[in-house]
Amino acid sequence: MRKHSIGLIVGISCVLAACLLVMTGCRSNPESREGSSTAANREGVVKRGHDEQQLAALRFRLHRQMSHHQWIPRSAEWEVLEQGAATSDSEMTLFYTRRIVLKSQRASGVNQDEPDYWNREHLWPRSYGLKGTPADRDLHNLVPADRTVNSSRGNKMFDMAATPHRECRLCRVSPEAWEPPDELKGDIARVLFYMDVRYEGDTGLQEDIGLPDLALAEDADATRKQMGPLQPLLDWHCSDPVSAEERQRHEVVAAIQGNRNVFVDEPLLAESVYQYNCETARSARP
């Protein structure tokens, strides 16, 4: 390994340790959750009166706000995910199954085929525009998941499903969709909102050269780098506000990568960007 890579990994360890020690003082804003509400209807986005020019300006402002960050070596991603999901010095909680495992149980190298070990799950699937781009390494999009559960999810879209998964009992699955536990639905929605706004293709900014143009829409289409459906994600954002676990993961990633997910810091921004009103939608629900 090159000397500068070793130095970076050591630096990452130090920053992670410092962030965890002062986690309660890290920048987080639970009060910003006020105004979010429970499940919205599924009949369409509630219009809020912004014209297209205003919305484009808002998206670009948030895009620039989230664009300034650094990429770390893939080998260092494991430690970041460990600390983001840490429950103790040696243990962590896996994302979908909620199972507590040893951090050391990595499904990599000689242990890569261990079924109950964990690996790195991309919430926005790699096949939907990430492969071959730096966006593939964005830490905000990575979570630690049981290896076989990760494989089962594959590149399925996030949506409602009917059949309980044989291993992740709080998950439901269909041939096209993966429904996570209720307590993670908002977490996933806010990561996908981030990916949609952060990756707008080559905008002319130096930091956007070579990055994909991702989009959230009502249908998933890998050839168009498009994930969906958007409507359930908006519902999930409304019904599952930012939790302490989500803030911990966010603070650890932000400390290392150098940028923040604005939809975790200020959840109400999702309503503006996607022209959705959680309170109105909740009131309209039968």
Helix (H, G, I), strand (E, B) or coil at 197: helix
Q: Which tokens go with 139? A: 């830490």
Of how many residues is the chain composed?
286
What residues form DSSP beta bridges with 142? 122
Element containing residue 173 per DSSP (H, E): strand 172-173
Contacts for 214 with CB less than 8 Å, ≥ 6 apart? 124, 128, 129, 135, 195, 196, 199, 200, 225, 226, 227
The DSSP bridge pattern shows strands 100-102 and 157-158 to be unpaired
Q: What is the mean pLDDT of residues 224-241?
A: 96
State pTM to two decimals. Answer: 0.85
Q: Give residue 44's pLDDT.
A: 36
- Residue 27 predicted with pLDDT over 70: no
Q: Which tokens go with 281? A: 């939608």
The DSSP bridge pattern shows strands 172-173 and 177-179 to be antiparallel
- What distance in Å separates the CA atoms of residue 187 and residue 181, rounded to the nearest whole number? 11
Mean pLDDT score of the chain, rounded to an integer? 86
Instruction: Give the DSSP letter of residue 41.
Output: P
Condensed to tens digits (0 to 9), the pLDDT of residues 248-257 reads 999 999 999 9
Give Cα separations from 102 to 74, 83, 144, 180 (angstroms): 20, 12, 12, 22
Q: Which tokens go with 210? A: 């070579």
Q: Which tokens go with 239? A: 């019904």
Q: Give residue 283's pLDDT.
A: 72
Name the pLDDT band for 281 (thresholds 50, 70, 90).
Answer: confident
The DSSP bridge pattern shows strands 163-164 and 118-122 to be unpaired
- Residue 179 predicted with pLDDT over 70: yes
- Residue 4 predicted with pLDDT over 50: no
What residues form DSSP beta bridges with 173? 163, 178
Q: Give residue 125's pLDDT.
A: 98
Cβ neighbours around 272 below 10 Å, total: 17
Percent of the chain with pLDDT over 90: 75
Percent of the chain with pLDDT over 70: 82
Q: What is the mean pLDDT of residues 229-246?
A: 97
Q: What is the mean pLDDT of residues 155-180?
A: 97
- Residue 202 predicted with pLDDT over 70: yes
Q: Give residue 93's pLDDT.
A: 98
Q: Give residue 68's pLDDT.
A: 85
Q: Give residue 2's pLDDT.
A: 41
Condensed to tens digits (0 to 9), the pLDDT of residues 107-137 reads 999 999 999 999 999 999 999 999 999 999 9
Residue with more model confidence, 43 or 89? 89
